[in-house]
Amino acid sequence: MKKLGFGLMRLPLTDPEDQRSIDMPQFERMVDTFLQRGYTYFDTAYFYHDRTSEEAVRRALVERHPRESFTLATKLPLSLLKEPGDKERFFDEQLKKCGVDYFDYYLLHNVGKGNTPIAEEFGCFDFIKRLRDEGKVRHIGFSFHDKADALDAVLTAHPEVEFVQLQINYLDWDSERVQSRLCYETAIRHGKKVVIMEPVKGGALASLPAEAEALLKGEDPEASMASWAIRFAAGLPGVMVVLSGMSTIAQLEDNTTFMSDLQPLTEHERGLLYKVADMIVNYTAVPCTACRYCVAGCPVGIEIPEIFSLYNSRRRAELMRQGTDGLREEYNKLTETSGRASDCVRCRQCEGACPQHLEIVDNLALAAEAFEK
């Protein structure tokens, strides 16, 4: 299996404000191109695209291509389990939504933090093992957004899992908050294969500050910024596949081109990326990946990722001594139909849902100070 996987949580949209408005003609073209170039791994989840990604992959992939031509991964939504029988109900629903009678890879979604106790309470590890024994799934694992010591505890308790899906990118590699390197080393020490998510950190590593981009362009003028990030992840030993949440056919064509002849980074090139990471930290106020897990439960309807994107743009503009009036206008337009940063009631449900462990409430207060005063 080629090492590039198609992550289905950032699909092309006909309406940027509506996660359900998936541009199916473009998505179908992307699926066809991906398969034609010899790639097979597709990764979705119950929550993606406001719970419509699984149906979209049925329409674009399953109903249009032979089952043996692709591998499909999805995830059990641990946070929605409330009663005995829920896990079976969700699994059956996912089979139906995806239009398949088995999954090649089935994961427990977001083990760690508050979800590990849920997985244990509902016997989810035994459940996915039983599914594998019954032939309803081929391989079992879990996705993970927590610290390395928590990962070590789960893998020690459940050696039956075959792989772990981790957030790994060069910006988070030595981050104390995300612990990409420590989590990767923990999985390898337990003998597990690694699926990498967020190699481009929600697109943040595809568009770099000017001085950082110039550094990489000086080394390879033809390489995209995203290609540097994906090569960093794909070159790590023990990595089974690197997921890229591709939103356009141009992104897919770029990724499938350089990954067809993967060239691992040299030590010199890795050193350049560490320098770039230091530059990015100086320009980024809030390292949000726009996964939107924080948005669904917000009681006042704040578009948190969009506000943080504007806040980061303001920081870059200030560092580069550029004007910010246009960003204030964008903020006012955004919050005409959604909550303002100052509307936050500090319930902190968003922080419990955030895979990046961000201090969302405090950062919203800073955004309110920047845009509303």
Q: What is the pLDDT of residue 311?
A: 92
* Cβ neighbours of residue 168 closer than 8 Å, sequence gap 6 or more: 180, 183, 184, 194, 196, 197, 198, 199, 233, 236
Q: What is the pLDDT of residue 320?
A: 64
Q: What is the pLDDT of residue 123?
A: 97
| CB-based burial label for 351 (10 Å; 0-12, 13-18, 19+) | middle
| SS3 of residue 202 by DSSP | coil
> Cα separation of 323 and 253, whole Å?
35
DSSP 12-33: -BSSTT-TT-B-HHHHHHHHHH
Instruction: Give residue limits of the domains in the chain.
Output: 4-267, 304-372
User: Two tokens at 259?
Assistant: 């990954």
In sequence order, the β-bridge partners of residue 141 are 107, 163
CA distances from 161 to 47, 91, 105, 139 (A): 22, 18, 11, 8
Q: At what angle do helices 124-133 and 86-98 cross, to 10 degrees?
A: 50
Q: What is the pLDDT of residue 316?
A: 77
> Cα separation of 334 and 310, whole Å?
10
CA distances from 48 to 4, 74, 104, 197, 216 (A): 19, 10, 18, 14, 32
**pLDDT < 70 stretches in the chain:** 320
> Cα separation of 143 and 354, whole Å?
14
Superfamily of domain 4-267: NADP-dependent oxidoreductase domain (3.20.20.100)
212: enclosing H helix or E strand: helix 210-219
pTM for the full predicted model: 0.85
Q: How many CB atoms lie within 10 A of CB 313?
A: 18
Residue type for 363, please? N
DSSP 343: G
Q: What is the pLDDT of residue 224?
A: 95
Residue among 166, 192, 187, 100 nearest 137 (CA)? 100
Question: Residue written as tokens 């201090």?
Answer: 359
Contact between residue 130 and residue 88 where contact means Cβ atoms under 8 Å apart: no
